[in-house]
Amino acid sequence: MLLKASQLALGYAGVPLINSISFQIEPGEVLAVVGQNGAGKSTLVKTLLDVIPPLHGTLEWPEGKPQSIAYLGQRTEFDRRFPIRVRDLAAMGAWQRLGPFGWLKADDQEMVEAALQRTNIADIADEPLHVLSAGQLQRALFSRAIVQDAPLILLDEPFTAIDQTTESYLLGLIDDWAKQGRAIILVLHDLSTVLQHCTKALLLGNNEALFGLPHEVLSPSNLVEYGYLSEAQVGWIETMYTKREVANQKDMKLEGGAHV
């Protein structure tokens, strides 16, 4: 097990946003964090990063705390006018390994080039950041996360204001990370993405948290109870679940009952 959180209470300056979060994540898992605005999703991410201390509760790292945790934050906190090129932004992922004076070694440079290739932005590697589209910038930040080469990757709403093509491309990258045995914690709003790509889900809302398998945690009644959906919105999601079950049953028949 990579990380076990027990009875976490989160908030700023003693004012709790959430009372009791417990969850765990194994290498190779993708954990979705879902919740209404202000539910404490970003606060949870910053607590995992050690930027904000938890009010109560414990974070345990049974295999030892990783040397580096990759992080991709919301783009409102990012300065695109800084004079730096896409390639240097990707190389920033190696910064922690280099310290204040180290130069990029040959294998670091190869890693940066490979990351730019993987995110499909090698052709704009020498562009400054202010000319990039939202999707290109997000690809550049994903390449930085690749270069960080971390066992745990935290992504805070990575697909906000991103087009569908880029989103599905980057989701492929997340699936690859999981296959490589990295754990990913993903804050996002799109429930169908959660059901397709995540192995666990954590639902936050009304000062409480619920953890488990995505289709169990994100049931229509839970989503209403935790303030994520209104009664009126539940209809379409029920349809989505039914369709998914039908599709799963077909898959199971095709794969001879293999676990999905």
Partner 1 sequence: MFEWLDYAFMNRALLATSILSLSVAPVGAFLVLRRLSLAGEAMAHAIVPGIVIAFVVAGLSVYSMIVGGLIAGVSVALFSVLLANKTIIREDASLASMYLLALALGIFILSAAGSAVPLKSFLFGSILGIGDDTLMLIGATAIITLISFAFILRPLIVSTIDPVFYESQLRRPWIVGHLFMFLVVLNLLGAFKALGTLMAVGLMILPATAARYWVSTITSYLILTFAFALMSSWAGLIISFYVPKVPSGPAIVLVAGGLFILSLLFGPQGFRLTSQIRGSSKRSTDKNPETANAALINQKRTKAL
| C-beta of 35 vs 214, nearer to partner 1 | 35
What's the closest the beta carbon of residue 45 comes to partner 1, in angstroms? 9
What are the residues facing 10 on neighbouring strands?
18
Q: Name which of 15, 5, 17 is nearest 206 in CA terms.
A: 17
| C-beta of 69 vs 191, nearer to partner 1 | 69
Query: Which positions ≥6 away from 244 have C-beta within 8 Å?
Result: 195, 215
What's the closest the beta carbon of residue 241 comes to partner 1, in angstroms? 34
> Could you tell me the CA-to-CA distances from 181 to 29, 157, 175 in Å, in that order?
8, 22, 10
| C-beta of 130 vs 250, nearer to partner 1 | 130
What's the closest the beta carbon of residue 244 comes to partner 1, in angstroms? 35
CA 212, 208, 30, 140: dihedral to nearest 10 degrees? 170
Q: What does the buried/exposed string (b/e) look like for 91-104 if buried means 16 or more CB atoms within 10 Å of the residue's CB?
A: bbbbeeeeeeeeeb
Query: Strands 15-25, 69-72: parallel, antiparallel or unpaired by DSSP?
Result: unpaired
Rounded CA-CA distance 212/110 in Å is: 39
| C-beta of 62 vs 101, nearer to partner 1 | 101
What's the closest the beta carbon of residue 31 comes to partner 1, in angstroms? 17
Query: Which residue has tokens 């039908």?
Result: 246
What's the closest the beta carbon of residue 46 comes to partner 1, in angstroms? 7
| C-beta of 99 vs 256, nearer to partner 1 | 99
How many Cβ atoms are within 10 Å of 39's Cβ, its own excluded?
A: 23
Alpha helices in the chain (DSSP H): 41-48, 86-91, 95-98, 106-118, 134-148, 164-179, 191-197, 214-217, 220-225, 234-254
Q: Which residues bind partner 1 (CB under 8 A)?
A: 46, 49-51, 68-69, 71-73, 75-85, 88-89, 92, 95-96, 98, 100-101, 128, 130-134, 137
| C-beta of 122 vs 134, nearer to partner 1 | 134
What's the closest the beta carbon of residue 65 comes to partner 1, in angstroms? 12
